[in-house]
Each structure stands twice: as C-alpha cells, then as structure tokens.
Structure 1
Amino acid sequence: MESYKEEFINFMVDSNVLKFGEFTLKSGRKSPFFMNAGAYVTGSQLRKLGEYYARAIHDTYGLEFDVLFGPAYKGIPLAVVTCVAISELYGREIRYCSNRKEIKDHGDKGILLGTKLRDGDRVLIIEDVTTSGKSIEETVPIIREQADADIVGLMVSLNRQEKGQDSDMSALSEIRERYGFEANAIVTMQEVVECLYNKPIDGEVILTKDIKKAIDEYYKEYGAADVKFG
C-alpha cells in the first residue's frame, strides 16, 4: 500500500471522519463503520484532504483533464481544495465546476458554479463516498446537458466495497458498467482494515478483534460479488 494511503486512513480517523461502532445507513443497513466527510472542518484538514485527493488522482488518472466537477453540496469544497492542491503539488491548472441544487435566474445565471463547461472539456467527477450511485445518476446528465464534454472518471475517498441496492456489484463497478468511465477511490475498505486492525493510535486500538468480526459478518451479507473481502 502506498504510504499516502496509510496516511490518509489515519487522517480519516484523526479527523473523526471514519468511525467504528454500529450505524444505521440511509439504505437501512446496520453498518459497523461510518464515514462522514462533513467532519473535515478546519483549514489544515481541508488542505490535507485536497492533497490526498490530488495524489490519488495523479496516480490513477494522470492530470490530462481540464475540469474537476464536484456535485452539490459536499463535492463543492472537495473540488475547490483539490484544484488548489493540484496547482501547488504539480503546477497544473485545473478548472473547478459544481452544480447548484436550484437554477439561478439572476446575476450569475444558470445551474453551474465556477467555470462554464465547454465542448471537448475532459471532466473528472469528485465525491466523498458513493454507496448507491444515485448522485452520479443525477450528475452525469447535468454535465452532458451543459456541453459536449468527455467524462474521464470519478474519484471518491472511500470504496465501501459493498453491493448496491439493485445488484450484487459494488457501486463503483455499477458506475463503470453503466456509464463507461472509470470509478476509483483513494482507499478501499479492505485497505482500511489491513491498516488499522489491532494497530494502536494514540495508545488506543480503534479497530479491535470484535469490530473486525462485525465487519467480516457485514461483508458476508453485503459484500459486493465483484470484490473479495477478507
């Protein structure tokens, strides 16, 4: 595992973004872990977050794209801080774009924030986590209605590696199959477990034997068919 991935996993825990216990997801599933990107709230946290995304994007897609698109609402700050990080780390100027939830009919009119999309733009979508793929179902038409742009891929922070609501494939695999572009994450849940299991952080083991057992049981029921877990 690349060193920045291990750093990112510890960063999620330190930032209180990744938690272990028992959580009820929007889908109704009882999950032994939960990720909330809304817990990144300070300037230093957001700066580091942008750097981790930038490194993962660079390693996965390269930097031959024009626009980083962050769907409203959580994708907006992600797109901004990652564009800044790409500029600072790699000297590449990527334009940022996001959508509004409601179309603005005065002043800076339209549905977009940031740059306007142009025909021929190569667009990379950035999100926090994708469980069902519903947000991509909403985002792709917005992009394609604005310009004849090429969507080169999606980058999220954590691949939960669990089956979606409508198939046994993971949400990221469903996106690849449905839309024809790549979908990747900074880290997978498998990598999280490998990194944290029985490892003390500030003197405390976060991912204990009991939690590991609960995660294994969760993936026996909800693990994606296209992903080997454990």
Structure 2
Amino acid sequence: MEFVKEFATFLHQSGIIRFGDFTLASGKKSSYYVDLRIVPSYPHQFRRMIKYLQNLISEQIGFDSFDAVASVPTGGLVIASALALETVKPLVYVRSEAKSHGTGKLIEGIVEDGMKILLVDDVATTGGSIINGIKALKEAGAKISDCYVIVNRMEGAHQALQMEGVTLHQVLDISEIAEILHQARMISEQTLKKVHAQTSSQ
C-alpha cells in the first residue's frame, strides 16, 4: 500500500495525472487526464512500478499461468517490454491495424496455438483497444484469461473484458488515486466528487 500512495502522489506531482476539463481521444469529456507514457522519463519510478506490477502478478496469478506477455501499442508496450524482460517471457504485440506493407501482419512476435498470454496495458477506460487485442490474439490461437493495467479509469472496462472471459487487474484505479490525493490535501473535495461521478460502479 505504501507504493500505491507514493505512486499516486508522484503521478500528480509530475503532471502525469491532471485534474480539470479535458476532451479524450474518444471525444468524451473528462474531469481528469492520465498520461502514463511520461513515467519512463522517470527511470527510478518506472522501475518501481514494473517491480510492483511483477509482484502483483506473482501473488495473484503466478508466472506459470502464462507463456508470453502481450500489449497493444503504444502506452502499454513500454510496460509490457519491461515486464517481459524482468520475467524472462516472450513479448508479442498487436497493432491497431495490420501493416499495409511487408507481411501485412497484425501481430508482431510468435504466437503458437494454445499459448497462454498475459495482456498488459497502461490505462483501461472502456476496454475497447484491449478487446481488439484479445480478439486478434485469440484468432491466432492464443488463450487469454487475465489482463493487467496500471490505472483503471473505471468506465466499463472490467465488465467489457468479463464478457470476453478475461479478468481485469489493476495497480490503481482512479477513485483510489483521487482518495489518496484528497487525503494528502492535493485536490479539493469538489474535484474528488467529480472523479467519483465519472466512474461507473465496477
């Protein structure tokens, strides 16, 4: 829990999570913005985040439960790469669309029939891009039962992945981050309420 508190504080202090009025890529309005792609610019924090994620996976599902690590570019790929390196597991990734040149592949890396794959991403919102990755990997013969993200925005991803037979795990969810920051007097009561109002009860 100590890491979670420190990490939430770090995310806010370094501008990785910002509160205000934002328009997301989907066109949806949001009371906060999370850009975890900045984390690798802080190598010590990045390493601690990967180590914490590694320990979480070890405790919750164990390293024997998967043969390879996969991600969907770009945010999650840096995290998945570091995790694959630490766990000495093969890395594969799913493109958002197949290459228009060369082999025209959608999946980069080796996926064998019956291979158990752990999916990793940076942030989960509705779960759309993660589900595209799950479907592509399943079509290639992979088995996926678990997905790990650093931050769950709690806007439907949990239920959406459940429909695909995949359990979503997270290091932090947005409510937790907002609660920690509010207790540390870094954000106001009003901001906390706005964040809670935005989450769907998962």
- TM-score, normalisation: structure 2: 0.84
Which residue is 1:210 aligned to? 190
Residues 73-99 of structure 1: CA deviation (Å, up to 9, x unaligned): 2222121012223x3xxxxx2211112
Q: Which moved more, 1:12-21 or 1:45-54?
A: 45-54
The 8 Å contact of residues 8 and 180 in structure 2, kept in 1 or not, is answered as yes
For the 8 Å contact 1:75–1:98, the answer to whether it is kept is no
Would the aligned equivalents of 1:50 and 1:83 in 2 still touch at CA under 8 Å? Answer: no
Shift in Å, 1:153: 0.9
Cα gap change, 1:16 to 1:52, in 2 (>3 Å) = farther
2:68 paired residue number: 67
Cα pair 1:198 1:208 within 8 Å, conserved: no
Separation of aligned partners in 2, 1:59 and 1:12: 24
Tell me the residue number matched to 2:137: 143
Equivalenced residues, count = 199
Q: Taking structure 1 as reference, are residues 95 and 20 closer, same or farther at Cα in structure 2, changes over 3 Å only?
A: same
**CA deviation after TM superposition for structure 1 residue 150, in Å:** 1.3
Identical counterparts, % of pairs: 23
1:18 is matched with 17
> Looking at CA atoms only, which structure, 1 or 2, has the larger radius of gyration?
1
Asked if the contact 2:174/2:195 (under 8 Å) is kept, the reply is: no
- What letter corresponds to residue 174 of structure 1 in structure 2? A
Asked if the contact 1:20/1:206 (under 8 Å) is kept, the reply is no
SS of structure 1 residue aligned to 2:106: strand
Structure 2 matches for 1:50-61, cutoff 5 A? 50-61=50-61
Residue 49 of structure 2 aligns with an amino acid whose one-letter code is: L
Give CA-to-partner distance per residue, 1:129-174, whole Å, 9 cap, x none: 121221123212221232x221021111112223xxxxxxx22122
Report the Cα offset of residue 18 of structure 1. Answer: 1.2
Whether the aligned pair in 2 keeps the contact of 1:175 and 1:183 (CA below 8 Å) is: yes
Partner residue in 2 for 1:156: 149
CA distance in 2: counterparts of 1:60 and 1:207, whole angstroms = 32
